[in-house]
Structure 1
Amino acid sequence: MKTHVKALVVGGGAVGTSIAYHLARAGWDDVMLLERDELTSGSTWHAAGLLPYFNMSYATTHIHDYSIKFYKTLEEETGLDAGFFVVGNLRMAQTEERMDEYRVYATTAETCGVPYEWMTPSEIKARWPLIRTEDLKGAIYHPTDGYINPADVTMAMAKGARQRGVTIERKWQADAFEWKGDHWDVTCTKMVEKGGNLVPSDEQIVISAEHVVTASGNHAQRTAKMLGIKMPAIPVEHQFIVTEPDPALVEYRKTNEQHPVIRDADAKWYVREERGGWILGPYERNAPARFEYGVPDSFRADLFPLDLERIEEEYMSMIHRIPSSETVGLKDDFNGPICYTPDGNPLVGPAPGLRNMWLAEGFSFGITAAGGTGYYLAQLMVEGEAEIDMASLDPKRYGSWMTTEYAARKNEEAYEHVYILHHPDEERPACRPLRTAPAYDRQKALGAQFGHVNGWERPNYYGPLDADENFDHDARSFRRGGWWKYAVDEAKAVREGVGLIDATAFTKHVVKGPGATQFLDWFTCNKLPKVGRINLTYALTSKGTTRTEYTIVRLAENEYYLVSAGAWTAYDADYLRKAAEDKAGEFGYIEIQDVTTQWGVFAIAGPKSRDVLKEIVKDADPETVLGNKRFPWLTCRDIELGMCPVRAIRVAYTGELGWELHHPIEMQNYLWDQLMAAGAKHDMKLVGARAQNWLRQEKSYRAFGTELGRDATPLEADLPRFVDLSKDFHGKAEMEATGVRVKCCTFLIDGPADADPWGREALYDGETRVGRLTSGGYSVAFGKSIGVGYVKPELAVPGTKLKVKMLNQLWDAEVVEDSPYDPKNEVIRKDG
């Protein structure tokens, strides 16, 4: 048995075998896969094998699309039938709102090149007469997917991996991981059968691997403990039942191809054909999380007892939808663990804090995602980056604040929400509130309706307190929700008066030490600011694309305050620390402190923002302390607001005159009360994140995670003013070599009267798809919809007329000049 390899993959399910296969295909010729039992003995063996395209995530849609196309090639390569039945996938809707969900999803599918068809109830009935359709509104149909045999496709990938030189060892368990500076030593134990259980033997070996990938499925918590990290991958029970043959289906099949997979999303189930009968897979309420602290040694390819009462409602709805199934008996049942994460997306990418340790965990749709995960993770490992932005799947999207209890409860919620309407404005309630800034209770008492960002509660908007308004804050929509008019009022207040925004969730780091200046000059692409000044800049990937956006405040010659997106604290911290460690020998000592929870942030913005601050600023000359002479745009000053010391930064993400007020978190309530009292004299309005998102689009401010990501360079984001090509910086050569493949621009849109884009819509030039939106919303300055997105460079010219696909219709969209609101930045520089 080999003891030295380039890459060791731990886990022999569909995901692990795909990763091993794709690493070998990408050119790594020394890859080993370890499986503690037999291949497919985890969740793979009892998976239903469905391959659904449907997903609201751009990255995950690409992953699923690759899998479906890849699986169709395996038989030709390996000689093994992967068991892929391309029967199509019919996703039905009982309500117009469900059809709206499909319309919103469909444009994401278009941007990824996924084919689909719309079907009316009568068309469904004519084609598949066993389905009851009189209470349906319609359906979306994917003709190119279907279902696959999980064991067969896994074995086909395993054979393909072996053909490419991969070594696969069964009955070996990874029991310890030790980083040796340039490789991992993995202690492995031979597993043996004993009394029907699988137990460790006395035989051990140590495998040295330059890279390790964990794809341990249900054993993710054990893996996390061995690595000393947190990982919110915990299984939830998923049960499905198999019926006896249905005579009506048997008769149908005499003259027809296989029945497509059908999904009644409003009834919360999928059904597919199985040997003349049906498989019913429900996503019911109250399915429990299992193995929160590890899988018992006695649990192998085992199942849990079926809980038919828990799925009775879904079973009866299947009988309603397929009346012929009513008299058919049950043939078999399965209730097994399927791993989940709090948002339902897997954890794919580098492990937090570790070198050359890669995670591929938490796959609730593992068969669908296995092929694509192997392909894109291999790109990350071999080439440094994938061709799509994988940040939304990065394991570091959950920070160290995450606990086992949190993960278990949120995973149960994610399971239950598989078929609950996926509103773009949804806010799931489990485990909330958890992370709250001190002013949370004050904001809630004033009507704040909160969103959930990296565990933080952040106001989305402020709604009415008067019960007579009969306003349902939990009402969601694929069009303009009930919150829309309140966000409009908030946005207008910032443009016309003054608004106060809680931005405490911002990620904040202090970087200091003798090597700090040289390091940050290399790490980021813009000039470093002078002491007391600020700059917007970007840290690039090794491929020259955008890894992180920073606002850098220079506090002293070798001390910097870095502010970045609140959703990405652990993600940013990990990259920053690892880069500093790599360069410490070259640049000298660098100290990095995550001070996110030490500083609260209020953003005050609008023409009257200076007037509000003058009410409470303590200075010998309060009339001039906030003026352009002493406090110009893009500077930082330490000021006092009442008794609160404030690091005030003269920037405004809204594009108005304004300041970010960074303050000691323990003084937040005091400062809040001071600002509220002063603001009352100037009709200050409280403003949430949704209005702020609209306002920043009017200024063409790019946002990390939407416009800015690892699939486009800063030059493609059309931000050359923040790139200093006169200096050397990480990723510069790669950025220049990439060129400008696409270009980011802003659109004003004449859309429907009751809807705005969400930022996932396809853009068309005539009949040709030419790009996609990455952000969308409503512009109070222009009285119409607005969006930011990417198109071919020759189309990113002001005045270009395109079409945007919204709710299955094309609407006029025009490219406008960057920063259509106040393009010369006269408002933001206003003196007083």
Structure 2
Amino acid sequence: MKTHVKALVVGGGAVGTSIAYHLAKAGWDDVMLLERDELTSGSTWHAAGLLPYFNMSYATTHIHDYSIKFYKTLEEETGLDAGFFVVGNLRMAQTDERMDEYRVYATTAETCGVPYEWMTPEQIKERWPLINVEGLKGAIYHPTDGYINPADVTMAMAKGARQRGVVIERKWQVDGYEWSGTEWKVTITKMVEKGGNLVPSDEQQVITAEHVVTATGNHAQRTAKLLGIKIPAIPVEHQFIVTEPDPELVKYREAGNEQHPVIRDADAKWYVREERGGWILGPYERNAPARFQYGVPDSFRADLFPLDLERIEEEYMSMIHRLPSSETVGLKDDFNGPICYTPDGNPLIGPAPGLRNMWLAEGFSFGITAAGGAGYYLAQMMVDGEAEIDMASLDPKRYGDWQTVEWAVEKNEEAYEHVYILHHPDEERPAARPLRTSPAYDRQAKLGAQFGWAGGWERPNYYGPLDAPENFDHDARSFRRGGWWQYAVDEAKAIREGVGLIDATAFAKHTVKGPGATEFLDQFTCNKLPKVGRINLTYALTSKGTTRTEYTIVRNGENNYYLVSAGAWAAYDSDFLQKAAEDFMEATGKLVIVQDVTTQWGVFAIAGPKSRDVLKKLIRDAEPETALTNKRFPWLSAKQIELGMVPVNAIRVAYTGELGWELHHPIEMQNHLWDQLMAAGEEFGIKPVGARAQNWLRQEKSYRAFGNELGRDATPAEADLPRFIDLSKDFAGKEAMEATGIRSKCCTLLIDGPADADPWGREALYTPEGERVGRLTSGGYSVAFEKSIGMGYVKPELAVEGTKLKVKILDELWDAVVTCDSPYDPKNETIRKDG
């Protein structure tokens, strides 16, 4: 056995074999894959092998698209039939709202080049007469996908990997990881058969690897313990049943008819496909339990759990309704096995938190569908430094160190039962909430706050009516302008016309101090560093020159900085910042101290023409009337002030583009500050404001948002942010950014959209002649212009004020025009207002 490799892949399911294959294909000629049992012996062997395109995530759609195309090439390369049946995928809808979901999804599919077709109930019945179309509104049909044999496709990828030099070793279990500072020393133990179980022997080896990838499926919790990290990937039971041959189906096929597509009745929560003259039914029912929360027993190998037919009775009866010929058909086989889930249902792909050269590929609930693309894009990240698409939405660090096993269990069970529950773009799933709350949470709830989830924090999305029924938040969700929409409009107007108060406590916050702090941050970010007492917006780049992270930097002293970044990305930003500082110190010997202070500081943003009036009543200063003027407190500056009894690090900046301040305060004093601000603001009509109104307002100012306009697939130059790029200095990623050029460009659009809907930020953009030329990354409503607004990327020559385009909203094209940068108050006169 080899004892030193470039990359060690741990796990021999579909995901692990794909990663090994793609690393070798990308040029790494020294790759080893370890499997503790036999290839496919985890969840791969009992997977149903479906290949659904449908996914609301831009990155995951690309991953699924690559897999489906890649699997079709394997037989020619390896000589092994991967068992791919290209029968298509029919996703039916019983309600208009479900059709809206498909319309929202479809425009994401278009931006990724995924083909689809719309079908009426009559067209379904004409093509597949065994389907009862009673109660259907329509369907979306993907003609290019279908289903595949999981074992066959895994073996084909394994053969392709071996052909490219990958060594595959079976019956070896990893029992320890140790980082030497430059490579991993991985202790492995030979596994042997004993009484039907697989148990460790006395034979051990140590493999030295420059890189390690874990694709351990159901064993992710064991992997987490070995690595000393947290991985919220825990299996949930998934059942499917196989029927005896259906005489009507047999007769239909004997007449020369094509195989049925994979049929999905999303409102009934199941999929069905043909299997040897019968049917496979796979339900996604409620109350499916999580398993193996603390590890997989040695006695559990390629095993299953007992079937629980009572739990899926509703879905089974629904199948009979939709396929009446199945009513008299008996059950031939059943499967109830563990399928790994994550809290949002998407896999964890990317660098492990806190570790070097350790990569995770865990939590694949649709592992066969995602395996090919996951291997392809993860190999790009490892070999080239970045993938060609932004993989941040799948990064393992989207969940912080605050997570626990119990939390992951509740969220993963919820994710399972939400597979077919309507996926509203503004959906908020309730399990395991509230958990992380700012002190003012109860006060906000009493004012009607309807909360969203950002990095685990509860954050007001909007403030609904105080007399709302208990289920109001659920009723407010929609693919169009939901019940929350008018409340968000009123909140946005309050900031534009009066004064609003936003809880921004979820912001990630770090201090960077020490003798090397200034030199470190100067090469770490692309903008000039601010002077003491001032602030600046800046970006840290990837090795490819794209945007890795956005920071607001407050300079409190010569080598004393306070960094603020997006709340939903706190762990992601912290890991990147810490590792970059470690690299700097190793290279220069200069000390840099990075500290995550997110939970120490609360943040309120007060904004609007009357925000200064409110603060004047509270500020403790010898000359309170002048303390907040431009002369003493200019725009883009920071000051230590006192508001009542609360010491506040106040920053004169507003993400809404209105006159305003961010008030960073000791979190234990938050309730006192909230009460003081609300009392002082009463005479000025102060209104608490949620994240949805803030999102609309920042688009009126063309403020880019990380995870939307800013990400690892576009440079700051492509985001059209030249004022935040200092090309006179050297910074990490500069050469790559300049070499990339401008492939596409960010712009803001005003949209004459439908009367009852706004874009969500995932819509395709077209020329008036029908050529697809880009996509939206943000969307919403503008109270200043009383129409829809959006931001997105188009071909560079089209990102010019006055360019007329079309945006596809709910399957219709609507007029849009590229507007100037910052269409609201383009000269920043309002935000600089003196007083």
Same fold (TM over 0.5): yes
Within-5 A mapping of 1:26-425: 26-254=26-254, 255-425=256-426
Q: Deviations over 1:438-466 (max 9, x none)?
A: 00000001110000111100000001112
CA contact (8 A) 2:709 2:777 kept: yes
Question: Within 2, Cα distance between the matches of 1:41 and 1:465?
Answer: 54
Counterpart secondary structure, 1:681: helix
Q: Distance in 2 between matches of 1:243 and 1:738?
A: 55
- Spell out, residue by residue over 1:744-787, the C-alpha distance to the aligned partner (whole angstroms, 9 max, x if none): 00000000000000000000012110000000000000000000
Comparing 468-477 and 647-656, the one that deviates more? 468-477
Q: Give 1:611's aligned residue.
A: 613
Match of 1:525 in 2: 526
CA contact under 8 A between 1:493 and 1:606: conserved in structure 2?
yes
Is 1:811 aligned with 2:814? yes
Give me the whole-angstrom Cα distance separating, in 1, the residues matched to 2:711 and 2:565. Answer: 13
Q: Distance in 2 between matches of 1:319 and 1:35?
A: 41
Correspondence list, 1:609-758, <5 A = 609-758=611-760
Instruction: Give the aligned residue type for 2:191.
Output: M
Hey, what's the Cα distance between the residues in 1 that align with 2:337 and 2:531?
59
**Change over 3 Å in CA distance of 1:614–1:473 after alignment to 2:** farther
In the alignment, the residues of structure 2 paired with residue 241 and residue 728 of structure 1 have an alpha-carbon distance, to the nearest angstrom, of 61
* SS of residue in 2 equivalent to 1:482: coil
In structure 1, C-alpha distance between the alignment counterparts of 2:454 and 2:460, rounded to whole Å: 10
Secondary structure in 2 matching 1:409: helix
1:511-564 deviation line (CA, Å, top 9, x unaligned): 000000000000000000000000000000000000000000000000000000
Whichever residue aligns with residue 432 of structure 1, its letter is: R
**1:470 Cα deviation after fit:** 9.9
**Residue aligning to 1:452:** 453
- Give the letter aligned to residue 675 of structure 1: L
Give the deviation of 1:580 after TM superposition.
Answer: 0.6
Q: Structure 1 counterpart of 2:532, which letter?
A: V
In structure 2, C-alpha distance between the alignment counterparts of 1:587 and 1:707, rounded to whole Å: 36
Moved more, 812-821 or 468-477: 468-477
**Residues 518 and 587, structure 1, Cα contact 8 Å, conserved in 2:** no
Q: Residue 817 of structure 2: SS of its match in structure 1? A: strand
Is residue 55–residue 105 contact of structure 1 (8 Å, CA) maintained in 2?
yes
| Shift of residue 134, structure 1, vs aligned partner | 2.2
Asked if structure 2 preserves the Cα contact closer than 8 Å seen for 1:449 and 1:473, the reply is: no
Q: Residues 475 and 483 of structure 2 are in contact (CA less than 8 Å); yes or no, is this contact kept in structure 1?
A: no
Partner in structure 2 of residue 794 of structure 1? 797
SS at match of 1:327: coil
CA shift at 1:257, angstroms? Answer: 1.6
Supply the AA of the counterpart residue of 2:828: N
Q: Which amino acid in 2 is paired with 1:781?
A: A
AA matched with 2:416: Y
After superposition, the C-alpha distances for 1:383-438 in whole angstroms (9 at most, x for unaligned) are 00000000000000000100000000100000000000000111100000000000
- Please give the root-mean-square deviation of Cα atoms over the aligned residues, in Å: 0.8
Tell me, in whole angstroms, the C-alpha distance in 2 between the residues paired with 1:214 and 1:688.
39
Structure 2 counterpart of 1:375, one-letter code: Y
Q: Could you say which residue in structure 1 is the equivalent of 2:566? A: 565
- SS of the residue corresponding to residue 518 of structure 2 reads helix
> What secondary structure is seen at the aligned counterpart in 2 of 1:825?
coil
Q: Give distance in 2, aligned partners of 1:465 and 1:354.
A: 47
Report the AA paired with residue 701 of structure 1.
Answer: Y
Alpha-carbon offset, residue 587 of structure 1 = 5.7
CA contact (8 A) 1:464 1:471 kept: no
Q: CA deviation at 1:258?
A: 1.2
Change (3 A) 1:666 1:470: closer
Unaligned residue ranges in structure 1 (runs of 5+): none
Amino acid at match of 2:329: V
State whether residues 464 and 484 of structure 2, in contact with CA within 8 Å, keep that contact through their aligned partners in structure 1: yes
Matches of 1:574 and 1:638, distance apart in 2: 28
The CA deviation at 1:471 is 5.2
Shift of 1:468: 8.7
Q: Extract unaligned runs of 5+ from structure 2.
A: none
Count of residues in Structure 1 that have an aligned counterpart in Structure 2: 832
Secondary structure in 1 matching 2:543: coil
CA distance in 1: counterparts of 2:260 and 2:467, whole angstroms: 53
Aligned to 1:773: 776
> Judging changes above 3 Å, is the alpha-carbon distance between structure 1 residues 471 and 356 closer, same or farther for their aligned structure 2 residues?
closer
Preserved CA contact (<8 Å) 1:235 1:338? yes
- Counterpart contact for 2:538–2:550, Cα < 8 Å: yes
Q: Give distance in 1, aligned partners of 2:265 and 2:338.
A: 23
Q: C-alpha separation between the residues in 1 aligned to 2:658 and 2:261?
A: 54
1:357-404 deviation digits (Å, cap 9, x = unpaired)? 000000000000000000000000000000000000000000010000
Q: Report the 3-state secondary structure (helix = DSSP H, G, I; strand = E; otherwise coil) of the residue aligned with 2:684.
A: coil
Structure 2 counterpart of 1:104, one-letter code = V
SS at match of 2:135: coil
CA distance in structure 2 between the partners assigned to 1:468 and 1:447 by the alignment = 11
**Equivalent pair of 2:450/2:473 in contact (CA under 8 Å):** no
1:822 to 820, 825, 828: 825
* Paired residues of 1:18 and 1:374 also in contact (CA < 8 A): yes
Give the counterpart letter for 1:234 in structure 2: I
Q: Following the alignment from structure 1 to structure 2, what is the Cα–Cα distance between the partners of residues 562 and 314? A: 51
CA contact (8 A) 1:503 1:603 kept: yes
Q: Percent identity?
A: 87
2:598 maps to which residue? 596
Deviation at 1:474, TM superposition (A): 3.8
The answer for the alignment partner of 2:575 in structure 1 is 574
Distance 1:277 1:768, change over 3 A: same
**TM-score of the two chains, using structure 1 as the length reference:** 1.00
Provide the C-alpha distance between the structure 2 equivalents of 1:469 and 1:186, rounded to a whole number of angstroms.
Answer: 53
Distance 2:557 2:298 in 1: 56
8 Å contact kept, 2:709–2:719 = yes
What is the SS of the residue equivalent to 2:327? helix
- CA offsets per residue over residues 294-317 of structure 1, 9 Å max, x none? 000100000000000000000000
Residues 31-58 of structure 1 deviation map (CA, whole Å, 9 limit, x = unaligned)? 0000000000000000000000000000
Amino acid at match of 1:417: H
The reply on whether 1:783 has 2:786 as its aligned counterpart is: yes
Deviation at 1:496, TM superposition (A): 0.4
